[in-house]
Structure 1
């Protein structure tokens, strides 16, 4: 058996594009050459990698099994090529919102200072979106706010983070003793389900309240801060997210009758993902975060 990198590159591009016709310009090959390379690969493996549905090619279980291994081999081959040139491949990072908006900007600033020309792609979403992107090999690394329970993903502790209950300076909750009962009676403004922050807040705090008065669910931390500042309720977010508002006095920390609320931020990658030199270099900058 003599599988070539070109065959694997053809297979991977056809899988992404859904047809040999759409893959051919990306590969700089004719449509017939793409079809021939794919057919040769399937003949060598003795299996079909796609189901033929009209003019479309739909990846089947054999193709899904091959894809992560093919991508890993292609990335390693690309890394060998890059050993002898100045150009390095893009590092693709997907971070959940707290990490992407409030922690990574400083990391990227330090990275850019030392490597101003190296490409870096950052996407921001909620933790479930990050996990999905890592599972689909759309990104190299994910940084999330809660644990990942997918067995195909390697999850490593990264940073410790403190969560803070907060309210507007004139909130009624601040005029009475703060107990679990008064916390439960307050209107709560929370992140949406699927958010790592929401999962941890549910586990550390809300599960200990006798009941919950959910006033609103919002999709990002900035919206929550503004809603709380205008007196619409109380919330719980990372101290990193509300540090400036606590310092200015536009938001006030609410002392809760519980132990300090802390969580672990995690670094995740697919178990079959090849960690390139460029990616490991970026992760060293992430590890330098206090």
Structure 2
């Protein structure tokens, strides 16, 4: 059986109009096309849906059985068309931890004010987790803290971010001018390997300190900044992560003998992934 939406539409319009002639005018079809569609539907169902009374078509018990289901089907079809016309599908975003924990909340709040009911799914992990999810099509878009070199993915610059080397106000390193040697001798508390922050810190900073002292690796920026606050070592994180503690004076930024540390944040997607209107609409809120 191959019932079509056109046949269902013809059936409901004939019912409303009472004749194939009037239904053909409403549907912008020829009368013969309307009659043929109705006949095909009745043939497939194996019943007559109307009693033929002269030139009039009168709904019978079979037609009455079909009518509410036909109306429901057409309404659902209309809902589907409207759904995709407005492009209101759920957006799945995966962000690395600095972006997901410190940048996106404000952006999402702004988005939610204008689109309070549109579904949005956000996951947070390290950059490698994000890359893996995008490669596997588990999410629509990834936001990471460093460049991505996976050939299946498109990596586009998104925002700029400043990194800060910081310590507790009473840290020993602050007792004398800061040099590359004193930086190398201080215990460093760093993000785990695989995170975007660690990759960029290794590239921009630690390559100048070949003999640096690794105190510990932590998988959470919150843990790192509080470990530093309690005098366990020094670290380097996004200014966005420690800005509140810098302003409060419980952490201090170090004036290091190196150029300013800055990085580009990236958005990534699979090469075979289409950026829908919904995704582009969300991205318009994800700016400084």
TM-score by length of 2: 0.71
Q: Secondary structure at the match of 1:217?
A: strand
Q: Could you tell me how far 1:183 is from its partner in structure 2? A: 0.1
Map of 1:61 onto structure 2: none
- Indicate the residue corresponding to 2:104 in structure 1: 104
Task: State the distance in 1 between where 2:240 and 2:84 align.
Answer: 38
Is 1:170–2:170 an aligned residue pair?
Answer: yes
Post-superposition CA distance 1:131-166 (Å, at most 9, x none):
000000000000000110101100000000000000
Q: Distance in 1 between matches of 2:259 and 2:184?
A: 17
Q: 2:122 maps to which residue? A: 122
The alpha-carbon deviation at position 177 of structure 1 amounts to 1.1
Q: Contact between 1:87 and 1:118, CA under 8 Å: does it hold in 2?
A: no
- 1:79–1:277 Cα contact (<8 Å) kept: no
Shift of 1:81: 5.8
Structure 1 runs of 4+ aligned residues shifted over 2 Å read 78-84
Q: Give distance in 1, aligned partners of 2:219 and 2:274.
A: 32
TM (norm. structure 1) is 0.70
Q: Which runs of 5+ in 1 are unaligned?
A: 1-77
Please list every run of 5 or more consecutive structure 2 residues that lacks an aligned counterpart in the other structure: 1-78
Q: Secondary structure at the match of 2:284?
A: helix
Which residue of structure 2 aligns with residue 40 of structure 1? none
Q: Distance in 1 between matches of 2:187 and 2:176?
A: 15
Greater Rg by CA: 2
1:79 and 1:147 mapped to 2: Cα distance? Answer: 38
Matches within 5 A, 1:132-151: 132-151=132-151
* Equivalent residues of 1:79, 1:276 under 8 A apart: no
What is the CA distance between 1:280 and its match in structure 2?
A: 1.0
Deviation string for 1:29-88 (max 9, x for gaps)? xxxxxxxxxxxxxxxxxxxxxxxxxxxxxxxxxxxxxxxxxxxxxxxxx9966234x671
1:204-215 superposed matches below 5 A? 204-215=204-215
Whole-Å separation in 2 of the counterparts to 1:79 and 1:234: 55
Q: Secondary structure at the match of 1:233?
A: coil
Partner of 2:283: 283
Q: 1:155 — aligned with what?
A: 155
Q: Which residue is equivalent to 1:82? A: 83
CA root-mean-square deviation: 1.5
Residue of structure 2 equivalent to 1:230:
230
SS of 1:211 mapped into structure 2: coil
CA offset at residue 216 of structure 1? 0.3
Q: Is the 8 A contact 1:181 1:210 kept in 2?
A: no
SS of residue paired to 1:83: helix
Q: Is the 8 A contact 1:189 1:217 kept in 2?
A: yes
SS at match of 1:285: coil
Instruction: Report the equivalent of 2:40.
Output: none
